[in-house]
Structure 1
Amino acid sequence: MSKKINLILAIHNHQPIGNFDNVISEAYDKAYKPFLDILSKYPSLKVSIHFSGCLLEWIVINKPDMIAQIRHLVNRNQIELMGGGFYEPIMVMLPERDRIGQIKRYTEYLQKYFVRKIRGMWVPERVWEQNLTKTFADANMEYTVLDDSHFKYAGLEDHQLLGYYVTEEQGRTLKIFPASELLRYYIPFEEPTKCIEYFKSCATEGGDVTIVYADDGEKFGVWPKTYDHVYKNGWLERFINVLLDNRDWINLVTFSEVIDNFSSKGKVYLPDASYREMLGWALPVEAYFRYEDVYNKLNNIPWGINVKRFMKGGFWRNFKIKYPESNLLYAKMMHVSNMVDLMDKKKDDYMAAQKELFMGQCNCPYWHGVFGGIYLPHLRFAVASHLIAAEVLAEKGKAKGAHYCISDYDCDTKDEICVSNSQMTVYFKPDRGGHIYELDYKPKRINLLNTLMRRREVYHNKITDTLYKDDLEQAKSIHDLMPSKQTGLEKMLYYDTYLKEGLIDHFFESGTTVKDVFKNEYREAGSFVTSSYNYKIDQGKDNVLIKLYREGEVESGGHRCTVRIIKEITIMDNAPLINIVYTIENHSKHICDAQFGVEFNISMTAGDAFGRYYYIKDRETIGNLAIEQELNSQNKLGLVDEWLGVEVLLDWNISGDVFVFPIYTVSQSESGYELVYQNSSIIPRWSLNIKPEDTWSVVINKSIKSL
């Protein structure tokens, strides 16, 4: 009897909610379509494929011929379709009701178009926690696939990873296949013969072993240099032909066929994990450097491989700590999920709200690794927009006037304040500078504080490394290749020390310039930026009044002056207007001579694109939203985004100088390092000269309107 193996080829195709149409079209032309076209030429080749619901909906609308092509391949048993969460959520992030809802909704969608039983599912980013076993089983899923690293963390050896296992949670069972990390790096980057050598090393006389390759379909044409490599240079067809030439001992199968014809390898319980690279990205920057240093040094130690298999790195949920903006988005999602769950489930509005909620759970802007993720504003915009849309539907028929709620939305044991009317919802963070951290403009379904602070990333050290310049001809794994999309990025590596929110109270030293603040290379003369504020709230007949106040110190003329800031914010019924009255009381024995500024951050879709600009009095345009400038003696500043169809106007009753500058981040995506516009910062400033026991006051209005 000759030695044989079973081989499962599993492909995962995904495009996130909010991705640009031209980007998805390019992925279709370079990866999804040519892959299926080649698959159609080889009827004996079997593949398990997962399309995320986001992508499949796009295909249904824009490329319906591909649906017919997929259906044809499914009907001739060449493709096994895998299910999953409809809009590719990280499952552990969701309430149980939404986990099951996403899976069942997508199963119904697949069955509508392809009339096949969906037995298994893809786990987004392979983020696994044991409680998902019951979730998946309750959603009628029979199997899933994870990386082999999950199994190695549980103590299994390589020779034990050649088949599927059964796991259990509260009496509910699930079959789990380990996918080879080695093959993730071989396919499609190494020559096919190297894969064959690996397959031969695993083959057995009984032929009861199963090897699984499971990874992104974008590797076959979208990743840098892969289109030429995979299609023009023929890698994919060479690989297929090699497999078919050896089909006397390589049995090409699907997950379901293995389950139906072979027993499990036993029972297993897997630790919380994801694929190895993800767990490194989840670590804080300094911890990652230490992790990477130790991991690489183990390559030079004979017993190092036995240690590396247990080096798990971080924990996916800690992306919410690494990126507080992700936690705020998560908190919003959970809040909206609870609102939707309280709706009358028999009404059409409930199904519409649930869909909007599910779209707002798409995982991509909640984390960051080798892909742009949270650094891509259009992805954050899209997810936030769907959450706002779900919230608006859930509010339908309820109180219309201005009203408030106090709750610990972000689960940090500190209260946040939410004020809402028919036009907007405003979230305040008293314990963090009394900031506004979210401003939802309901008519356009946008969060105008969809911002991101500049922070150090592990790859910033590599930006000037010539190894990562775009001068490599050979296609490589995206984990090994990171070309730079533009020059001069090393000159834009500035880091913020606070989240880019609204109502941030600054005291600047004399001589501070807009360049100093833009670079975050100035010294704060006060103690208010992120300090905790007390609050009082008054629900009026037609408004909500929030009073935020605290005492702190301001350095002035060699003295430390005790001052009290009071900011009173009024939100009226049915008006997209925030009225802010600042009062500063000098409680010291010295004159408070200082520069006081209030920072507003406003996120638009682009900084220097057409139709995005600032204006001052008489609607005089002064430049695009990416300008860095100091304006003298102003009492108003407007921002316009014609693409969004939104205008924001700030005005104040005492003329002051204004700093305006953009926030650009330097981040990595699959196409390289890039400079990304996140938001525009506006800081009106006033020169104070407050005598002891005297006060100073200014009134600021922030209004929003649709164009």
Structure 2
Amino acid sequence: MEIKVIMMVRKLNFSIVFHFHQPVDNFDHVIENAYEKSYLPLLEVIKAHPKIKVGLHYTGSLLEWLVEKHPEYIDMIKELNDNDQIEILSGGFYEPILAVIPDEDKLGQINLLKNFISENFGTKSYGFWLAERIWEPHLPRILELADLKYILIDDFHLKANGLSQEETFYPYITEEQGSKVTVVPINEQLRYLTPWKMAEKSLEYLSQFPSEKGDRIITLIDDAEKMGVWPAGDRTTYDICFGKGYDGTPWLEKFFNLLEEADWLNVITIKEYLDKFKPKGLVYMPTASYDKMSYWVLPTNARKKVENLIKKARKDEIPYSKDILEFVKGGFWRGFLKKYHESNAMHKKMLYVRDKLKLVENLHGFTSSGKQIKAIKNAWRELYKGQGNDPYWHGQFGGIYFGFMRQSIYHHLIHAEKILENIMQSYKQPITPSIRTNDIDFDGRNEILMETKNLNVYISSFHGGSIFEIDEKGKQQNILNVLQRRKEAYHEEKLKLPYDRWRKYAFMDHFTIEKINFENLINDSYEECGDFVDSQYKYDIEQDAQILKANLWKIGFIKIDNQEHELKIKKEYELSEDKPEINIRNSFKNLNNEEIKIKFITEIPFYLSGDTAKIHIKTEELDFPLDENKKFSASKIDILAEDLNLGIKIKFDEENTIFKYDLYTFISTDGSKDSIYQGTSLTIVKDLRLIPNEKINFNIQLKIYSVEN
């Protein structure tokens, strides 16, 4: 297709930046597929068009993989850089949401990637890739300290500030406390055109905006994975970009050819543009990201309302549709820490481990000459890996719904913690065993933190005296990494999906008079007769040499036939420094003058591995795979994850009825809809007959163990 430009003197600057990213610890076969279908062919097409200059941003986790698996690809990047065809952008090494990590870590992550780029490609980075474009107004100070000159921001931010479309064709300066950075807008319209429409459509769009001054710039920013591995109806974008395209010609090849033919376009890097043209002026932006992110972060009902409003506005079905599209936005990224308490738990665990790291670093982190010791460097690296953004949220991709990604965060944070314990032990200053109270999740209430050399056990007195985290330090796994099933905006009522009324914590105290079966357990639909779940328990803690104890109790009520019966529950959690086990001692006392007959239900949820085929459960009489739901009676249970060589042994003081069932969530991700494994529940159902003033005991021993190869 021939693009006609009436005034040949009118020019437009055009920059392309491709963003390459893989989450920390993603599966090799997934990354290899992206390499073969996107990363390699994309770079080959760029190399074949030396007149097309582009910006490239690679996250550190992907660069580490490329160095190990495809060093020849690293050489290709270096060759393109040496030929002055590309500009390499920096960012946070492990792709954190920069705004929500401490300032020192912001600089640490940025400098890691800047140094990698300098050492491996022999170049300096001037531009900054902001993960998920999560902008907060305090960032200019950090970017100036990191000696970075510009940042890429969605034009959505600027339009919401009242700028016209034409005004977003220029960069601007923003500042914080006198620290400044240049803001380069990302064009939203082009992101939706490429590669979803014929390449000519992108050129038609660009052809509207050349100017006589020739000082405008339109920037196309896209995920490299979008150019190869994203679904596209009944095919993938690999077929579009490198295969048949829309007319028998590979889309990317055709797009680059059209760019080369357009003599009214200057296809240059952003740095080249900024070396030639000054920013348009000053701008200030509120917290923001791309438009969809601001909808995804909202609570489910609010998200549905906003998305419905935007949908109607795009179809021009309501008054002021254009104004709504320009100015209406949702929340900002930090809302995910509220929306998903599991995300908040990981984030606050990261901050907690970081506090330990700073303490140990200040004590023993440097040699007499002031050089940082290797173990501390390793601990920082593990902490940074635990800041990678992917498992902390959910939008177009699975994110927090992928159990293996959540486990990756915990693995690196626990590993960092273990490194610190080893450092202190080497100085004969052990920091375990330890029991303390601390508001680790920042909800205004203290939690109980029990720590030994083998385990961390975190207890919430506010959520029914339950355990919400058990870290096994040998394999560095949180075995309570189980996601609560909750309603999402895209869930249809006709699906009748099960949701959890309460968080999936261990050892909550439930009571019911209903007959219990798989249906009302899996659907979480049985009648709750007690007021103990998700309620405040009183507590005290004690430490006797190598033994840690947390005692919790509550006087509450059980409601049967509209009559309330007073009941006292006490439970004691005990850990020993030298044993990887938790002893749980429960007692129930009827404080009434009448007998109480009730079913007591408590749950041990767990997540060991997403590969459920490699997990088996054994009792005195049974041996069955994890993916088989089963009701059984046992006094001993042994669960082994063969791929991790990690197991859980559970011992009761008497035989109990157990319902074992798996927990799945239904998610919409990357154009498909999937049922995703989130963990397994071992639910103990026990008939209690409590005579007045009688106390009944119920004891459990939970042992987490590693199997040596």
The answer, yes or no, to whether TM exceeds 0.5 is yes
Closer, same or farther in 2 for the Cα pair 1:298/1:510, shift >3 Å?
closer
Q: Give the Å deviation of 1:401.
A: 4.2
Which of residues 211, 216, 241 in structure 2 aligns to 1:230? 241
Unaligned runs of 5+ in 2: 1-7, 245-249, 367-371
Q: Structure 2 CA distance, aligned partners of 1:40 and 1:681?
A: 53
Partner of 1:467: none
Q: 1:414 aligns with which of 425, 430, 445?
A: 445
Report the equivalent of 2:369.
none
Provide Cα deviations, 1:217-272, integer angstroms capped at 9, x if missing partner. Answer: 111001012110111110000100000011x2100111111110001011111110
Residue aligning to 1:256: 271
Identify the match of residue 544 of structure 2 among 537, 540, 546: 540
State the alpha-carbon separation in 2 of the partners of residues 336 and 79 from structure 1.
Answer: 39
Q: Is the 8 A contact 1:638 1:650 kept in 2?
A: yes
Residues 84, 250 of structure 1: alpha-carbon distance in 2 compared, 3 angstrom cutoff = same
Identity %, equivalent residues: 35
Conservation of the 8 A alpha-carbon contact between 2:18 and 2:221: yes
Q: How far 1:687 moved relative to its partner?
A: 1.1
Residue 615 of structure 2 aligns to which amino acid in structure 1?
R
Which residue among 41, 49, 67 is the counterpart of 1:60? 67
The DSSP-based 3-state class of the residue aligned with 1:458 is coil
Cα deviation, 1:675-698, whole Å, max 9, x if unaligned, reads: 111111012222111111111001
Match of 2:247 in 1: none
Correspondent of 1:390 among 412, 416, 440: 416
Preserved CA contact (<8 Å) 2:14 2:265 = yes
Deviation at 1:400, TM superposition (A): 5.5
SS in 2 for 1:316: coil
Aligned match of 2:340: 323
Runs of 4+ with deviation above 3 angstroms: 556-559
Q: For residue 161 of structure 1, give the secondary structure of its aligned residue in structure 2.
A: helix
Q: TM-score, normalised by structure 1?
A: 0.94
Alpha-carbon displacement from aligned partner over 1:143-180 (angstroms, at most 9, x marks no partner): 11011001112111101011211111111110110001
The alpha-carbon distance between structure 1 residues 643 and 671, as it changes in their structure 2 partners (threshold 3 A), is farther
The reply to whether residue 504 of structure 1 matches residue 508 of structure 2 is yes
* Letter of the 1:526 counterpart: G
Task: Specify the alignment match of 1:626 in structure 2.
Answer: 627
Conservation of the 8 A alpha-carbon contact between 2:435 and 2:542:
no
Q: Quick one: distance in 2 between partners of 1:678 and 1:181?
A: 35
Give the aligned partner of residue 682 of structure 1.
682
Q: Find the aligned partners of 1:406 and 1:400 in 2 and give their Cα distance.
A: 15
TM-fit CA distance, 1:555: 2.8
CA deviation digits over 1:423-475, x for unaligned, max 9? 1111111111111111110000111011101111111129x8xxxxxxxxxxx
Look up the equivalent residue of 1:155 and give its one-letter code: G
Q: Distance in 2 between matches of 1:607 and 1:77?
A: 46
Distance between the aligned counterparts of 2:63 and 2:93, measured in 1? 10
Alignment correspondent of 1:188: 195
- Is 1:18 equivalent to 2:21 in the alignment? no
Kept in 2, the 8 Å contact 1:356–1:390? The answer is yes
Partners of 1:274 and 1:557 in 2: CA distance: 52
Q: 1:608 offset after TM fit, Å? A: 3.7
How far off is 1:189 after superposition? 1.0
Distance 2:126 2:551 in 1: 56
Residue 395 of structure 1, CA deviation: 2.1
Aligned counterparts of 2:611 and 2:68: Cα–Cα separation in 1: 31
The residue aligned with 1:486 is: none
1:599-619 Cα offsets, whole Å, 9 max, x none, are 11111213641x21111026x
- CA deviation profile, 1:484-526 (whole Å, cap 9, x unmatched): xxxxxx36x2100111111111112241213211111211121
Q: Cα 1:554–1:303, aligned 2, differ >3 Å: closer, same or farther?
A: closer
Q: 1:75 aligns with which of 82, 86, 92?
A: 82
Q: Deviations over 1:649-689 (max 9, x none)?
A: 11110221111111111112225111111111012222111
Q: Could you say which residue in structure 2 is the equivalent of 1:304?
A: 321
Find 1:265's aligned residue among 269, 273, 280.
280
Q: Does 1:600 align with 2:604?
A: yes
Listed as ranges, the matches of 1:335-374 within 5 Å are 335-342=352-359, 343=361, 344-345=365-366, 346-374=372-400
AA aligned to 2:569 is: I
* Residue in structure 2 matched with residue 221 of structure 1 by the alignment: 228
2:84 and 2:358 mapped to 1: Cα distance?
Answer: 39
Distance 1:302 1:592, change over 3 A: closer
- Residue 41 of structure 2 aligns to a residue whose secondary structure is helix
Match of 1:206 among 213, 235, 238: 213
Equivalent position SS for 1:202: coil
Which residue of 1 is the match for residue 293 of structure 2? 278
My pick for the range that moved more, 25-34 or 652-661, is 652-661
Q: 1:267 to 1:558 in 2, by over 3 A?
A: closer
Equivalent position of 2:5 in the other structure: none
Contact 1:551 1:564 in 2 (8 A): yes
| Secondary structure at 1:309 match in 2 | helix
The aligned counterpart of 1:86 is 93
1:449 paired residue number = 480
Matching of residue 612 in structure 1 with residue 615 in structure 2: yes
> 1:373/1:196 Cα in 2 relative to 1: closer, same or farther (>3 Å)?
same
Q: Which residue of 1 aligns with 2:465?
A: 434
Alignment of 1:511-522 (within 5 A): 511-522=515-526
- 8 Å CA contact 2:61–2:93 kept in 1: the answer is yes
* 8 Å CA contact retained: 2:383, 2:412: yes
Check whether the contact 1:414–1:431 (CA below 8 A) recurs between aligned residues. Answer: yes
Paired position in structure 1 for 2:569: 565
Instruction: Give, in angstroms, the shift of residue 629 of structure 1.
Output: 2.0
